[in-house]
């Protein structure tokens, strides 16, 4: 296992479109495990391959939140979310159905410490391949649905700030240019970033 470097906006590599994976090799499985470890290390809930500099259509997600007793608080999740086994590692993810609207204050490991309300589809159906190359397909809503849409945007070279008004995204870009990013936060301060 190895921790990977997470690229930050405005790194031009975050703007590239990732390519589908032909074959899930042992090396790619290892890489996806490293992505998951990196995501946990940053206290993130999702990470896409281009965020660590690799243009493969691959995402890792774990939206489960732990309570004070260190156990997962499954009650906070919707029924559909609870049915999906996490952590989730998906190669060539594709949204095959989408419905409804929802909003959430999104953050991103590539734009650390900035949060804005983004509109997403509420319910989606996802298809893709797991680490064994087996087809997976499920419907979900809640935070998991939002996180999947956020990560697939990364595979298309899109960031959550692109989904804000011109004024709001302009303000964030200006702040980043002026102040950069803070040093890595302590555990208590960190919120969910994707
Ligand atoms: Zn992100």
The tens-digit pLDDT sequence of the chain (194 residues) is 799 999 999 999 999 999 999 999 999 999 999 999 999 999 999 999 999 999 999 999 999 988 888 888 888 899 999 999 999 999 999 999 999 999 999 999 999 999 999 999 999 999 999 999 999 999 999 999 999 999 999 999 999 999 999 999 999 999 999 999 988 755 555 567 77
pLDDT of the residue at 153: 98
Active-site residue (options: 81, 106, 151, 193): 151
The backbone torsions φ and ψ at residue 94, rounded to the nearest 5 degrees and listed phi first, read -145, 130
Q: Quote the ligand 1 centre to 11 CA distance (angstroms).
A: 13
Q: Which domains does the chain have, with CATH numbers?
A: 12-178 (3.90.45.10)
| Total number of residues shown for the chain | 194
Q: Quote the ligand 1 centre to 136 CA distance (angstroms).
A: 23
How far, in Å, CA of 177 to CA of 100, rounded? 35
User: Of all helices (H) and strands (E), which one includes residue 36?
Assistant: helix 26-41
Q: Quote the ligand 1 centre to 180 CA distance (angstroms).
A: 17
**119 is known as an active-site residue:** no
The edge-to-edge listing of strands for the beta sheet with 88-99 is 46-48, 58-61, 88-99, 123-129, 135-140
3-state secondary structure of 194: coil
pLDDT of the residue at 184: 75
């Amino acid at each position: 296992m190895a921790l990977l470097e997470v690229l930050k906006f405005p790194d031009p590599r975050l703007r590239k479109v990732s390519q589908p994976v032909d074959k899930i090799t042992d090396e790619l499985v290892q890489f996806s495990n490293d992505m998951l470890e990196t995501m946990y290390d940053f206290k993130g809930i999702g990470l896409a391959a281009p965020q660590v500099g690799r243009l493969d259509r691959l995402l890792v997600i774990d939206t489960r939140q732990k309570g004070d007793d260190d156990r997962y608080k499954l009650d906070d999740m919707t029924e559909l979310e609870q049915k999906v086994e996490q952590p989730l590692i998906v190669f060539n993810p594709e949204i095959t159905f989408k419905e409804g609207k929802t909003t959430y204050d999104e953050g991103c490991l590539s734009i650390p410490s900035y949060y804005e309300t983004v509109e997403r589809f509420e319910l989606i159906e996802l298809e893709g391949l797991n680490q064994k190359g087996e087809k997976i397909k499920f419907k979900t809503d809640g935070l998991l649905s939002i996180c999947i849409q956020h990560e697939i945007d990364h595979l298309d070279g899109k960031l959550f700030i692109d989904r804000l008004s011109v004024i709001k995204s302009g303000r964030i870009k200006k702040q980043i240019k002026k102040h950069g990013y803070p040093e890595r936060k302590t555990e208590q301060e960190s919120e969910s970033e994707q």
